């Protein structure tokens, strides 16, 4: 079975420091990769390189066997990236944020009211985002996971600020995506519920004796 996403020999250097070198990974349909490591180790950098938002010093990334830069438009259609910040407009209401977010994603047929109910924000539709809690703002950002058609999800700390119900809701959505053949790459300080062959892990660390990373 061919890989959905594959990275080969990635190297990243920031401020003269090597974050990781010759890092390789491969994920197939229905697999989730948990990127672990201390703050500043390079986890977010790795995610942004795979998403095409940063260039590595060396190495390449391919999706369904196609190089990252062969067809950027196709690449972006197959990929959904959500960073560690909520990325919502503070002055817009919850409903307005969901509506314009869907339009920017080219999903103009999305029912924003249904999305509000799905992510637990019904009743807060007229509240400006700046008056919502950090967890509620995070739910607005994560609503993209319920209408996006991308195969590959790249998520930087998606559980940040969520309560136990929000975490459970997100785990349920992850399971649905994996069952449909999707692939997820994420960073998280939260424990994940998957075990066995479906869950892959990579740990990036930097110690006095040199660079370490482990992929399993």
151-182 tens-digit pLDDT: 999 999 999 999 999 999 999 999 999 999 99
Q: pLDDT averaged over the chain? A: 89
Please state the φ and ψ torsions of residue 97, each to the nearest 5 degrees. Answer: -60, -45
Residue 124 resides in a domain: no
26-69 pLDDT, tens digit per residue, is: 999 999 999 998 888 899 999 999 999 999 999 999 999 988 87
Residue 56 resides in a domain: yes
Domain of residue 47, CATH code:
3.40.50.300
Q: What's the pLDDT score for residue 131?
A: 96
Residue range 123-137: average pLDDT?
94
Residue 137 resides in a domain: no
**Percent of the chain residues past pLDDT 90, beyond the cut:** 63
Instruction: Please tell me the least confidently modeled range out of 62-76, 77-91, 200-214.
Output: 200-214
Residue 208 resides in a domain: yes
Terminal alpha carbon distance of the chain: 18
Residue 130 resides in a domain: no
Residue 153 resides in a domain: no
Residue range 66-73: average pLDDT?
83
How many domains, in total, are found in the chain?
1
Residue 129 and residue 138: Cα distance in Å, rounded?
10
- Measured N-to-C along each axis, helices 164-179 and 134-142 cross at an angle, to the nearest 10 degrees, of 10
Residue 214 has pLDDT above 70, yes or no: no
Instruction: State pTM to two decimals.
Output: 0.91
Please state the φ and ψ torsions of residue 182, each to the nearest 5 degrees. Answer: -75, 170
Q: How is residue 41 written in tokens?
A: 């180790």
Residue 183 and residue 31: Cα distance in Å, rounded?
5
Domain, as residue range, for 56? 1-77+188-216
Residue 102 resides in a domain: no
Chain CA centroid to CA 29, Å: 16
Residue 31 resides in a domain: yes
């Amino acid at each position: 079975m061919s890989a959905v996403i594959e990275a080969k020999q990635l190297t990243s250097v920031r401020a003269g420091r090597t974050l990781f070198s010759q890092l390789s990974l491969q994920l197939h349909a229905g697999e989730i990769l948990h990127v672990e490591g201390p703050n500043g180790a390079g986890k977010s950098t790795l995610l942004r390189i795979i998403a095409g938002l940063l260039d590595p010093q060396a190495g390449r990334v391919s999706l369904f066997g196609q190089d990252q830069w062969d067809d950027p438009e196709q690449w972006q259609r197959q990929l959904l990236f959500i960073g560690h910040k909520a990325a919502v407009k503070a002055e817009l209401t919850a409903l307005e944020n969901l509506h314009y977010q869907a339009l920017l994603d080219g999903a103009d047929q999305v029912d924003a009211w249904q999305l509000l109910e799905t992510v637990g924000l019904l009743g807060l539709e007229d509240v400006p985002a700046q008056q919502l809690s950090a967890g509620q703002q995070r739910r607005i950002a994560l609503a993209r996971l319920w209408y996006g058609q991308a195969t590959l999800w790249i998520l930087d700390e998606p559980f940040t600020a969520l309560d136990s119900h929000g975490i459970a809701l997100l785990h349920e959505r992850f399971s649905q995506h994996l069952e449909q053949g999707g692939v997820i790459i994420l960073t998280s300080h939260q424990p994940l519920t998957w075990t066995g062959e479906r869950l892959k892990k990579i740990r990036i660390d930097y110690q006095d004796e040199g660079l370490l990373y482990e992929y399993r």
